[in-house]
Amino acid sequence: MARMDIGRFMDENFKVSDFTHLHWNGGFQDYVDMVAEDPRITRNSFQRIHDMIISFGTSNYTEYKKEITRYHFFDDPLENGKDAVYGIDVHLMKLVNFFKAASSGYGTEKRVLLLHGPVGSAKSSIARLLKKGLEHYAKTDQGRMYTFEWFDEDISDILGGTRLFPSPMHEEPLKLIPLSVRKSFLAAINKSNNSGHKVNIKGEVCPADRYIYNEYMKKYSGNWKLVLGHIRVKRLVLSEKDRIGIGTFQPKDEKNQDSTELTGDINYRKIAQYGSDSDPRAFNFDGEFNIANRGMVEFIEMLKLDVAFLYDLLGASQEQSIKPKKFAQTDIDEVILGHTNEPEYRKLQNNEFMEALRDRTVKIDVPYITRLDQEVKIYHKDFNAEKIPHVHIAPHTIEMASTWAILTRLEEPKKSDLTKLQKLKLYNGKTLPGYNEDNVKELRKESVREGLEGISPRYIQDKISNSLVKNGHVGCLNPFMVFNELEAGLKHHALISSPEQSDHFKEMLAVSRQEYEDIVKNDVQKAISVDETAIQTLCANYIDNVKAYTQKEKIRNKYSNRLEDADERFMRSIEEKIDIPESRKDDFRREIMNYIGALAIEGKQFDYKMNERLHRALELKLFEDQKDSIKLTTIISKVVDKETQEKIDVVKSRLIKNFGYCEICATDALNFVASIFAKGDSAKS
């Protein structure tokens, strides 16, 4: 192996200028000059998070006649989609609106933000995204922020026998401006401010900074300019790992956890140095609320916390202050975000002693996805050719697992003529006769708890992983392997609470299997009838007959050259393929002729692909005409003549080229479909 010159590598790849840019420091006047130039550097935590989300851009789309905004931040561009959140854009809009209202000071900044939803519904992913986004944003020029530290040329007793004392809660430097002159200062600095963001100073510095400030004021007999000489402003880079501006709190055993983990505790080793346990320099301001100042704190499974902790939350949210032991109320500026599941939230609702917390909480639902194409995106992140190059994932494998997951989450439709599977397809943007956007919107409205129960994406991910391990040696993972694993896992599923629920999940699995059977038959049928020229010829023949029928004309027989009536038998052989009854045939034919006429007025020509139902009918008709020539049912027998084998190989190559199959799953699909037709043939005989 060639020698690697690490020095040269670092010179080429690590920019010292980036490091120094993020570790800038300067005087208080330098900071005031920067504020005058860009007032946004003084934004509070809510304003910063809102601007951070918006900075990644948005796009709009319409769903059920309502405009939906997709915030690209939730695609997780920072880690290439690792924590991307799909399929719940409406709920994410509510989340962003919470931050928008809070950043404008409309009151939600005094609330605890609670993400509520079933297990595995992306609550933690949203929290991770916000923390990760804040870390990144604070490193950009657009999101830069600053704090300060105290310094003295000589070792100072005021600073506790050191030359340097960083602000323990990385406070905003402008908080050092005395209350008596703040109003005038703000009026002066905002006078020529056209940025859209007004500079505001809220609250006072923490007890340690306050103590040092007062001591220097005494030393210099109230000469504030001389006190400024001991203040060094520096760039603040948020980091969860370094516990700077981002905190995380997780419930543990009550005996081993107390409220000092939130608000800090006395440093007993320093009591001897300072002579008192009420000296703020002898206090560690390192509780989660302290270190999360200027950023955000996440409460994992928040409602599992002991009541004593929840009291701290009340003051932190409503008053935006905390009470460290032996010190006065201390101002904080941070977003308090918690997440919880359904049973814990119900417990909160039923607990009358928790009324104060309920009143200070804004709940944002984070349900399971109920749209198929969005659910599929979750699994494609982990199970794709790039991450699993040694095993081919057969077409529809991920889609069928997703179909089952969503079927378990949907409520039974109130309309008797609608199945759950049809409801799933409507939600996914498909059209069904008799249903328009308003009907689908109504379906969503009447389903109160949809997406709050059912199978978690984690279960699907685990079972696909198991299937890959068990069947990796085959070289291809197909839907049947995954179906078997999904069903087997239900016996030991910890979240199945009753035999009825288990039976329901198995029933939905049977529906998913049947759906796959129809889809794979459709793929094989398309591969057999993929001949575009043959379909166009069949379509032209059908249109000629329909035109003659609707206009009560004769049609010329291309073989005998005689004028004859429209071929009713031929037209019905196509229409029956898509279940158009005798009583509706005239409507269907007129509909097609009217559409062709409307296109002709616009100078456009009709193409069979423009009508999805007719396209499907023509494919099925062509398949019916051609399948006997291929002798599909002979595939499952050991004896296949050379001519049939050649035709089968052509179909197989089309499945591989046009539908994403590999040699293994194309053979499996053909064998499976052949067995279905063989059963059908034996049933007929």
C-beta of residue 210 within 8 angstroms of C-beta of residue 227: no
pLDDT of 400 over the 80 cut: yes
Q: What is the mean pLDDT of residues 383-405?
A: 93
pLDDT of 380 over the 50 cut: yes
**Phi, psi (deg, nearest 5) at residue 477:** -105, 120
Q: pLDDT tens-digit profile of 56-71? A: 999 999 887 789 999 9
pLDDT of 638 over the 90 cut: no
**Phi, psi (deg, nearest 5) at residue 275:** 85, 0
Four-CA torsion 565, 569, 575, 576, nearest 10 degrees: 160
HEC string of 95-110? HHHHHHHHHCCCCHHH
| pLDDT band at residue 684 using 50, 70 and 90 as cut-offs | very low
Taking the C-alpha atoms of residue 402 and residue 88, their distance in angstroms, rounded to an integer, is 16
Q: What is the pLDDT of residue 343?
A: 79
**581 CB contacts (<8 Å, ≥6 apart)?**
none
| pLDDT band at residue 682 using 50, 70 and 90 as cut-offs | very low
| pLDDT band at residue 685 using 50, 70 and 90 as cut-offs | very low
C-beta of residue 300 within 8 angstroms of C-beta of residue 341: no
Q: What is the pLDDT of residue 634?
A: 55
Q: pLDDT tens-digit profile of 71-82? A: 999 999 999 989
**453 CB contacts (<8 Å, ≥6 apart)?**
118, 408, 409
Q: pLDDT tens-digit profile of 671-680? A: 888 887 776 5
Lowest mean pLDDT among 103-107, 158-162, 347-351, 634-638: 634-638
| pLDDT band at residue 240 using 50, 70 and 90 as cut-offs | very high
Listed in sequence order, the DSSP H helices in 56-178 are: 89-103, 123-138
* Axis-axis angle for helices 372-382, 397-409 (nearest 10): 130
Q: pLDDT tens-digit profile of 189-216? A: 998 888 788 999 999 999 999 999 999 9
Q: What is the pLDDT of residue 683?
A: 43
What percentage of the chain exceeds 90 in pLDDT?
50
Taking all residues of the chain, what is their mean pLDDT, rounded to a whole number? 88
Domain ranges for the chain: 18-367
Q: What is the pLDDT of residue 417?
A: 84
Q: What is the mean pLDDT of residues 172-200?
A: 91
Q: What is the mean pLDDT of residues 338-353?
A: 80
DSSP state of 411: P
Which residue would you say has higher pLDDT here, 641 or 661? 661
What percentage of the chain exceeds 70 in pLDDT?
94
Q: What is the pLDDT of residue 342?
A: 81
Q: How many residues comprise the chain? A: 685
Q: What is the pLDDT of residue 337?
A: 95
Chain-centroid distance, C-alpha 265: 38
| pLDDT band at residue 237 using 50, 70 and 90 as cut-offs | very high
Closest CA to 100 of 63, 52, 64, 33: 52
Q: What is the mean pLDDT of residues 223-252?
A: 93
Q: pLDDT tens-digit profile of 488-511? A: 998 888 778 788 888 999 999 999
pLDDT of 531 over the 70 cut: no
Taking the C-alpha atoms of residue 333 and residue 101, their distance in angstroms, rounded to an integer, is 16
Q: What is the pLDDT of residue 214?
A: 95
pLDDT of 635 over the 60 cut: no
Most confident option among 248-257, 261-270, 548-557? 261-270
CATH class, range 18-367: alpha beta
